[in-house]
Amino acid sequence: MSDKPSRPPSVLDALFDDLDDQTRQRFGIGQDRERAEGLWRRRRRRLDFTEILPPPDQVGPPGAAKSPWQLSMSDWVAIAKRTMTQIGEDRVTAVAAGVTFFSLLALFPAITAFVSIYGLFADPQKIVDNFEMLNRFIPAEALRIVLDQTERITAAPQAALSFASVMGLLIAFYSANGGTKAMISAMNVAWFQKEKRGILRLNLLAMGFTMGAAALVVVMFSLIAVLPAVVGFLPVDRYTEALVSWLRWPIIFVAAMLALAVFYRFGPSRRSARWHWITPGALFAAVGLGAASMLFSWYAGNFANYNQTYGSLGAVVGLMMWLWIASMVVIVGAEINSEVERQIKMDNQIPVPGDPQADEGGPKKLA
């Protein structure tokens, strides 16, 4: 077998294969460095630019945060300041108003569909009593609208309810899907992304989120209103009944936080963010939704008199205000996640979309 001179490595060899000894000696590349850079190339092919780690020779400074829970107090102060700035620049209040409009369009058809489906398994008249248990979370005037609509629907014949359920589902789904797409657009703005998905893919994604949200609402309503009634019919002692009534609240909180995290992860038009980067916003939104609902319900019941100002439309205005506040809380959670991710990348000297100094190749600022 003749000794043929070895050919020089090609570009593909250099990118995907280990280098031979001659090439390593020529360029002064050791095996340790080659293995590290090869690992970096493989990881970069798998990850989107928004998720990349710095290459081995460009790691962040010692002590740089790699997750939200490693950020210092000064980092969180910087995140809070930038979040407040982005709330104004991204027109969060206006976007939340658009989501509120579509949510209000979907509300009454959704009530019609829900009552009709509920009537297939139980007495639809009991749903009015169950709805009244939500008074601590929904302003009394807004809840009155829901109860009045529910009473009108339950008074209709069963055949009419079956037809109304089909029509109500279709109308509610179409309207809610518009609100979901408006919320997805807000996620893109928060993460400095442009919508790159096609119309079909975007609508399928919005439909999936809409159906998931509807299922979540049914589960939460069942835990809040239906579960206590079911436990009351079971032969259990009062301590077990009290324990079940208490456990429903942590379950609702965890379910809401997980649902928000999924929406923050897959809603924006980008590769999926890391779970620990979206946890702060999901935690804020889950706590904020409960706190804001209770505070607004207390405020509307004790101070605000929408009927005196808006007359017969006072209850509708109260309901719209509640939906608007809830939408803003969810969008602000996305803004927090975006700024947390930005802070971690700037700490590790990774270029950040939307940062003028990073785009120009200048030094990265932490605030």
Spatial distance between the Cα atoms of 358 and 201, rounded to a whole number of angstroms: 32
Contact in structure between 357 and 365 (CB atoms under 8 Å): yes
Structural domain containing residue 134: 74-346
Domain membership of residue 48 (yes or no) is no
Residue 358 has which token pair? 């990073």
Domain membership of residue 117 (yes or no) is yes
Domain membership of residue 61 (yes or no) is no
Give the Å distances, CA to CA, from 254 to 176, 251, 260, 261, 317: 23, 5, 10, 10, 30
Q: Does the reported pTM lie above 0.75?
A: no
| Residue-level pLDDT at 231 | 74
Q: Give the amino acid at 91.
A: R
Closest CA to 96 of 338, 334, 258: 334
Domain membership of residue 22 (yes or no) is no
Domain membership of residue 23 (yes or no) is no
Contact in structure between 344 and 67 (CB atoms under 8 Å): yes
Q: Helix, strand, or coil here: 14?
A: helix
Contact in structure between 348 and 60 (CB atoms under 8 Å): yes
Q: Classify residue 367 as exposed, middle or buried by CB count within 10 Å of its CB (0-12, 13-18, 19+).
A: exposed
Domain membership of residue 42 (yes or no) is no
Q: Which residues contact 75 (CB under 8 A, 6 or more apart)?
A: 65, 343, 347, 366
Give the Å distances, CA to CA, from 281 to 11, 135, 175, 366: 43, 27, 26, 19
Backbone φ, ψ for residue 281 (5° rounding) = -65, -40
Q: How many structural domains comprise the chain?
A: 1
Domain membership of residue 352 (yes or no) is no
| Residue-level pLDDT at 80 | 93
Domain membership of residue 355 (yes or no) is no
Contact in structure between 334 and 86 (CB atoms under 8 Å): no
Residue found under tokens 């460095």: 33
pLDDT digit of tens for each residue in the chain (367 aa)? 445 555 555 544 554 455 566 665 665 555 555 455 555 455 444 444 444 444 433 455 666 677 787 788 888 999 999 999 999 988 899 989 988 888 888 777 777 767 666 666 656 666 666 666 676 677 777 777 777 777 776 676 665 556 666 776 777 777 778 888 888 988 888 888 888 888 899 989 998 998 888 788 778 877 776 677 677 777 777 788 788 778 888 888 999 999 999 999 898 888 766 776 678 899 999 999 989 988 888 887 777 777 777 777 777 888 889 889 999 999 999 999 989 888 888 877 776 655 543 333 333 333 3
Closest CA to 310 of 149, 148, 179, 142: 142
